[in-house]
Amino acid sequence: MEPERTGDVAAAREAGISLLARRDFASGELRARLEQRGYHGPVAAVAVAELLEQRVLNDARYAENYVSYHADRGQGPVRIAADLKALGLSSELVEASIAAGPDWQALAQEARLRKFGPAAPSDWSEKARQARFLQYRGFSSDHIRSALGADFDLD
């Protein structure tokens, strides 16, 4: 990139729109991408702020779409929330998106059924194996207990 363009807010904004044309980004993620492309930090921040102000970029929409997509893939709320926070979204926005998401207990049961079939786990080692799978997928201990049955105690 030419040195005179690294400080140009209009060029950074155009680059941001070009990136957004391919897929949606969180504001922090877009700012990092612009900085990777060579734009100075303050210039990238101003360009992202302009895109947010003009509603071209919307963190709430991004969070809702992210939760929906990853929940459809069988991931749980703990993992999704950690991913969204790593992308720079606020805790309040993440919590609201998770709360507006699907029925997490039903999703945990569905993920268990897809992976292990309809038969209930027969012994403790099988229950522990299924619990580890659901925990890796990002479900809380309450969701895991619900998916494995009332007789299972994770603690």
For residues 59 and 87, is the Cβ–Cβ distance under 8 A? no
What is the average per-residue pLDDT within 57-64? 94
CATH class of 104-148: mainly alpha
Confidence band, pLDDT 50/70/90 cuts, at residue 68? very high
Task: Give the tens place of pLDDT for each residue, 3-24.
Answer: 556 778 899 999 999 999 999 9
Q: Closest Cα partner for 47 from 65, 32, 63?
A: 32
Q: Closest Cα partner for 41 from 31, 50, 51?
A: 31
The fold for domain 3-53 equals Arc Repressor Mutant, subunit A (1.10.10)
With 60 as the cut, is the pLDDT of residue 155 above it? no
Domain regions of the chain by residue span? 3-53, 59-99, 104-148
Confidence band, pLDDT 50/70/90 cuts, at residue 142? very high
DSSP letters of 69-121?
HHHHTT--HHHHHHHHHHTT--HHHHHHHHHTS--HHHHHHHHHHHHH-SSPP
Backbone φ and ψ of 100, nearest 5°: -85, 0
- Identity of residue 11: A
Q: Do domains 3-53 and 59-99 have the same CATH topology?
A: yes
The fold for domain 59-99 equals Arc Repressor Mutant, subunit A (1.10.10)
Task: Give the tens place of pLDDT for each residue, 33-54.
Answer: 999 999 998 999 999 999 999 9
- What is the structure's pLDDT at 152? 47
Task: Give the tens place of pLDDT for each residue, 81-134.
Answer: 999 999 989 999 999 999 999 999 999 999 999 999 998 888 899 999 999 999
